[in-house]
């Protein structure tokens, strides 16, 4: 089964590959299409932004499954920011570590004690027949006192999932693939796909 993923993020595609091991899926990245460029994500929810990306890729690849997801970090002490701006919280071309540094700085300034946070993921899938499916996942936790860990990407070095004392980046990819927001959404999609394989 051919699937095109509307992302240029290799970390996200690696997570998807790990979660779908053993299934006969022919997975492709949007970056393989020379004429494709990412659309403007100007919606105010993760689901709406995922839908924008899915439809933009569907316009080019309408003979295969198209997947798009939007995900990010909500920090209660920052009024649920960075939210849909997670990838560009410190600026349009900010690195992961620049975004992490801004979250830590803003928490110190605004709400050093309220560190409760969550990762949220919305995944939109469009079938070759044009059917649309939405899958959501979230994981609760808090922002750590310091950056820690060598694995993962994005905000993994500062997010401590509920019930743990280490960050996602410290706990490693195997643990993250079991409990993360994205893994929950992707697993729900895969379960639906199994009925169609």
3-state secondary structure of 106: helix
What are 24's two structure tokens? 């006969």
Whether 195 is a known active-site residue: answer no
Find where tokens 């499954």 sit: 65
Q: How many residues does the chain have?
A: 197
8-state DSSP, 38: P
Which is catalytic among the residues 26, 42, 70, 156? 70
Tell me how far apart the alpha carbons of residues 143 and 94 are, in angstroms, rounded to a whole number: 20
3-state secondary structure of 15: helix
Q: Are 107 and 77 contacting, i.e. CB atoms less than 8 angstroms apart?
A: yes
- Give which of 126, 18, 128 is closest to 67, Cα–Cα: 126
Apex 143 CA angle, 161 and 171, nearest 5: 40
Tell me how far apart the alpha carbons of residues 48 and 3 are, in angstroms, rounded to a whole number: 20
- Active site residues per annotation: 70
């Amino acid at each position: 089964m051919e699937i095109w993923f509307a992302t240029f993020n290799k970390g996200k595609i690696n997570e998807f590959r790990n979660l779908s091991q053993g299934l006969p899926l022919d997975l492709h990245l949007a970056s393989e299409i020379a004429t494709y460029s990412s659309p403007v994500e100007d919606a105010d929810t993760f689901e709406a932004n995922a839908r924008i990306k899915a439809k933009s890729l569907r316009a080019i690849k309408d003979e295969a499954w198209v997947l798009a997801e939007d995900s990010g970090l909500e920090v209660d002490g920052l009024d649920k920011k960075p939210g849909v701006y997670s990838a560009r919280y410190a600026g349009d071309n900010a690195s992961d570590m620049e975004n992490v540094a801004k979250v830590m700085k803003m928490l110190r300034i605004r709400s050093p004690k309220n560190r409760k946070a969550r990762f949220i993921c919305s995944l939109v899938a469009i079938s070759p027949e044009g059917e649309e499916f939405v899958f959501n996942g979230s994981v609760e936790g808090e922002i750590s006192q310091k950056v820690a860990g060598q694995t993962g990407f994005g905000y993994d070095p500062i997010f401590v999932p509920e019930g743990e004392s280490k960050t996602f980046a410290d706990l490693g990819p195997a643990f993250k693939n079991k409990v993360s927001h994205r893994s929950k959404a992707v697993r729900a999609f895969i379960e639906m796909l199994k009925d169609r394989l």
